[in-house]
Structures are given as C-alpha cells and as structure tokens.
Amino acid sequence: MSLLIIFTLLGSLALLMFGMKTMSEALQKMAGPQLRHVLGAMTTNRFTGMLTGTVVTASVQSSTATTVMTVSFVNAGLLTLAQAISVIMGANIGTTLTAWIMSAGMSFNVSDLAYPAFFVGIILIYQKKYRYIGDFLFGLAFLIFALGVLRKTGQDMHLGENQAVLDFFASFDPNSFATTLIFLLLGGILTFCVQSSAAVMAITMILCSSGALPIYQGIALVMGENIGTTITSNLAALSANTQARRAAFAHMFFNIFGVIWILFVFRPFIDMVCGWVGYDVAMTKEAAGAAAFLANAAKLTFVLAAFHTCFNVANTAILIWFIPQIERFVCWVIKPKIQDEEEEFRLHFITAGFMKTPELSVLEAQKEIQSFSERMQHMFKMVRELLQLSSSKNGKKATNDSDFNKLYSRIEKYENISDNMELEIANYLDSVSDAHLSDDTKAKIRAMLREISELESIGDACFNMARTISRKYNGKQDHFTDPQYEHIHQIMELTDQSLTQMNKLMRGRKEAFDVNRTFNIENEINNYRNQLKQQNITDVNNHEYTYAVGTIYMDLVNECEKLGDYVVNVVEARMGLRAR
C-alpha cells in the first residue's frame, strides 16, 4: 500500500469529519433557538421526548449537540432527568441517519454532486442573509466529496485481494465469542481516540465492502463505536454538576445495556438484518467467484447502516418502559456532593471540553449568569442579616461577635466568588466569540459581558455595605437611631425588590418581562435616597446623632442607590436596551 493512498485515506476522513462538523454548526446557527424551544416544549412524556431527540439529532447531524442541549435544560430545571433520558434515547436513533448517508456515499459515485454544492455555497456565503445556508452547503459538499474519495480509495487499496490483510482478519476465529469481544473493544478504543464515530464507521464500511472484514467482526466494531462515543461525554462531564454527570452516565448505560443483550442474540439478529438487506452471509469467494463475492460484499455498507438503526430502535423499544428505573439507578450510582456548592467557587454549567458548538455554549453561559445573579441577591440578603446583628445593644454585643464575624467572612467569600465568576465567564465568552457565530449570538455575547460586569459591581456594592457595617460595629460610634434603622431597612427592601425583578428576568423570557417595573423601583430608590440625604443634614444640625454616624448612615443609603443602578444596567443589557 503506497504512502499516497494512506494519506489520501486519512485526508478524506479528515474532510468527512470537517464536513459533518460544518453542517451541524450551520444548522444550529440557522435554528439553534428554535431547537432549544422544541426541546423544552416537546418533552411532555417519554414518547414525545424520544421523538424530539430523534428529529433534532437527525436535523443537526450531531447526537452530541442534542445531548449537550438536553443536559443544559436539566441543569436549568426545565427538564427532569427522566425527560432527558428519553431525549437521549431518541438522539441515539437520530444519529443513525449519518450511517445511511455514508452507506449511500460508499455505494454510489456521488462525488460529482459536491462541485455544484461548492459553487452555490460560496455564492451564498458572501450574501449576509443566506450565509448559514452557504455554510451548510459547503459542509455537505465536503461530506459528499470525502465519501467519494473514500469510496475510490477503498477500491484502489484492493483490500479484498490483499493477502496480508485477509490473513490478519482470518487469524481471528469467526465463531469465537472472544473475537467478537476483541473487535467490540477495538471499536470503542478507536472511537475514543479519533473522537468521531463517523470516521470509525467509514473505516469499517471500507473494510467490509472490500470483502476484507467479515460482517460479524464489522458489526462488533459498530457496537464498540456506540460505547466509545459515550466515553468522551462522561469524561468531560466529570467536572460538571451532578445532573450533567447523571445524564452522561445514563447515555453510557443505555448503550452498554444494548450491547450486552445483543451479544446473546448476536448471530440471529445480524442474520435477520442481512436477510432484510439481501446480503448472503454464507457466500464465499471460492464458491461464488470473485465478482459475485465482491458484489455481495458491496451490500455490507447498507447492512451496517441497517444494523445500526435496528439495534438503536430495538434498544429504545426495550428501555423506554424502564426510564424511572434507569433514573433511580443513575441517581444511586452518582450521588450529589455533600459540600455546600453555594459556598464554593465553582461554575455549575460551564465545563471545559463539555461544550461542542459555540451556539450551544452561549446557552450554558446564560445559565451560569443566571446562577451568578441569584448568588448576588443571596449576598445582599446576608448584608441585611449583618445589619440586623449589628443593631444589638451593647449588653448583647459580646454574644453576637462570633455570629457577626462568621457572617462577615461569608460575605467576603462571596465577594471573591463574584470576582472569580466574572473572570471565568468572561474568559469563556471570549473563547466562544473567536468562533464563526451568527449576528444574534454575537450580540448576546456582548450583552452577557456587560451583564457579568454589572453583576460583579453588585457584589462590590454589597461588600462595601458589609465593610461599612463592620466598621461601625467594631468602632466606637453610637448606634443608629430607630428612625435611621427604619429608613435603611426601607431602602434595602426596595433594593431587594429590584434584585428580585432582575432574577425574574434572568429565569424567564424577556418577552414576558415588564421592564417598567424595574425602572419604577429605581426611581423610588433615587427619590428616597434624595429625601434621606436632606433629612440627614437636618438631623445632624439638630444633634439627633453625630456627624460620624450620619456619614456611615449615608454610605449605606448611597450604596443601595448605586446597587439599584447596577441592577438597571443588568436588566437593560438582558433586554437589549441602550444604557440610559
């Protein structure tokens, strides 16, 4: 086998993988938000969930993309783990369409269709309105071209006539169960190493259609690919939250269970599929002649595709009735971490290596920002608790010191968390923005960068209030008067209402959000701050309290007003409004 043929084979496999990736990303750019809405709406029961997973995966040509979207919905609480399992089952069926496309490309000369697709694609790419259709056609053209090259390369290699290759596969006993396990393991390892089940499927089809690899070993490789493709997502999910790891493990369990039961009916099941396709399992080259043998072997690409589909459909038909039991099993295997994740700096939704496409990465970042926003309101509630502790009279001060210092340390920890979250999310969005994104997604990333900056400022404002309260508590200043405490609580209540409105927007859809409510609360805070400012000057002049106490008092009031402004900035960024 010449070096040129080897590089042609490797290069065409690379083109195949690139074409599928380009197709998938282009389809997600065209219909990403709609696909997410479909996943959210069409999973009312296990059967609609399975059907949704099948249709979405067949549409975007990526079971990984569907799985990632599904996990993100589980993280956000929009889907239960049981619903996610049904979608993942459907994704396994939808991904078999890829095998049918490849079998057609291996069996017929379709490479001539690539050139018109390239020509139309390049025209559309330079037209802004249709550039995603152009991207899709370019990916499709690369896929078709790669399949044509693979087909020709497979023929040029003459593997069915290469005695060394034939002797290698003949060294494995075709009737041995150990041989099936070896090829199953080999398929899993190859898929994990190449990171593409499509590439390993293409190699399997070349080997089988040339007559070099017997059908039973070829199908064992396909079964191994089914397991290998789940290993990657499970390794990536190790750093993810509990629900993401459970969903990834459910995917692996589904495929491993299917492989186990198929091993018990291995040959009868394959013989049944071969009978449907019209492939003669018993035919040998010596008995039928080389021409008839190779013509029969050419049908093997369709046998592999048909087996892949029948296997996943049958496996789903069995396991779809046991989704509650699968859910309990994965929850038993993967238990939640005992530590309080709220008190630790840890991104819940963004995980390195887990995201596969930029369009879907944005959804994960949105969920992370929602978590960031909720943490900031929790931080503000702790500041209000700190003020309550600081209002104790001198006689009780000693007993409160421990609680006060402990709560102040928690607030300080949250301030560090807010700094780290801003930095990590910004770095993640920066890496995502390097990719070829739709205009809508670019606008979302710009808005999200503004959101996290303002959320971090909310954390700073909360910590400034905590430091002010701590300075007063540990100093020698007099206590606030009762009216002062009442005024501070009132402006803090207004500020908390604005934070609640902000989180309502983060959790829901902006079309249903009344932005005027946020603006009205901000006006109330501003007016109340101005009123308290004038009252403070009067009270200090009337010797109601000292100037030093008045200064600390107004520091807290002013920080609440600033925090309200930051909330408005977050809301404006989320709603796509310009800063006022």
Structure confidence at residue 475 (pLDDT): 78
In degrees to the nearest 10, what's the CA dihedral of 422, 424, 428, 430?
60
Q: How many Å apart are CA 259 and CA 191, to the nearest integer?
A: 16
Residues lower than pLDDT 50 in the chain: 339-343, 352-356, 393-395, 398
Structure confidence at residue 440 (pLDDT): 77
Closest residue by Cα to residue 259 from 16, 448, 92, 482? 92
Q: How many Å apart are CA 24 and CA 63, to the nearest integer?
A: 10
Q: CATH classification of 358-575 is 3.20.20.60, yes or no?
A: no
Token pair belonging to 409: 């340390």
Contacts of 250 (CB under 8 A, 6+ apart): 81, 84, 85, 88, 326, 327, 330
Structure confidence at residue 519 (pLDDT): 93
Question: Which amino acid, residue 574?
Answer: R
Closest residue by Cα to residue 243 from 46, 371, 370, 74? 74
Indicate yes or no: pTM above 0.75.
no
Alpha carbon distances (Å) from 189 to 47, 200, 231, 362, 459: 32, 10, 10, 31, 47
Q: Which residue shows structure tokens 């290698």?
A: 168
Q: How many Å apart are CA 507 and CA 299, to the nearest integer?
A: 52
Structure confidence at residue 38 (pLDDT): 64
Closest residue by Cα to residue 283 from 385, 396, 160, 197? 160
Structure confidence at residue 285 (pLDDT): 63
Contacts of 139 (CB under 8 A, 6+ apart): 18, 19, 20, 21, 22, 23, 24, 25, 26
Q: Which alpha helices (H) appear in 158-241, and where do they start and end? A: 163-170, 177-194, 197-209, 215-236
Three state DSSP letters for 274-310: HHHHCCCCCCCHHHHCHHHHHHHHCCHHHHHHHHHHH
Q: How many Å apart are CA 512 and CA 503, to the nearest integer?
A: 13
Contacts of 264 (CB under 8 A, 6+ apart): none
Question: Which amino acid, residue 170?
Answer: A
Structure confidence at residue 561 (pLDDT): 94
- Maximum CA extent, the chain: 115
Three state DSSP letters for 58-110: HHHCCHHHHHHHHHHHHHCCCCCHHHHHHHHHHHHHHCHHHHHHHHHHHHCCC
Print burial letters for 379-408: b (CB count within 10 Å at least 16), e (below 16).
bbebbbebbebbbbeeeeeeebeeebeebb
Domains of the chain, residue spans: 3-333, 358-575
Torsion sign over Cα 185, 186, 190, 193: positive
Contacts of 133 (CB under 8 A, 6+ apart): 26, 30, 124
Structure confidence at residue 348 (pLDDT): 62
Token pair belonging to 164: 């060394």
Token pair belonging to 364: 């994960």
User: Assign residue 158 a region: left if phi > 0, alpha if psi is -120 to 50, beta otherwise?
Assistant: left
Closest residue by Cα to residue 213 from 262, 174, 253? 174
**3-state percent breakdown (helix, strand, coil) of the chain, nearest 5:** 85, 0, 15
- Spatial contact of 425 and 544, defined as CB atoms under 8 Å apart: no
Closest residue by Cα to residue 376 from 419, 406, 334? 419
In degrees to the nearest 10, what's the CA dihedral of 42, 43, 47, 53?
80
For 150, counting Cβ atoms within 10 Å of its Cβ (0-12 exposed, 13-18 middle, 19+ buried), the class is buried
Structure confidence at residue 395 (pLDDT): 42
Span 35-91, pLDDT tens digits? 666 665 665 677 888 887 787 777 666 666 676 667 666 655 667 788 888 888 888
Structure confidence at residue 460 (pLDDT): 94
Structure confidence at residue 75 (pLDDT): 59
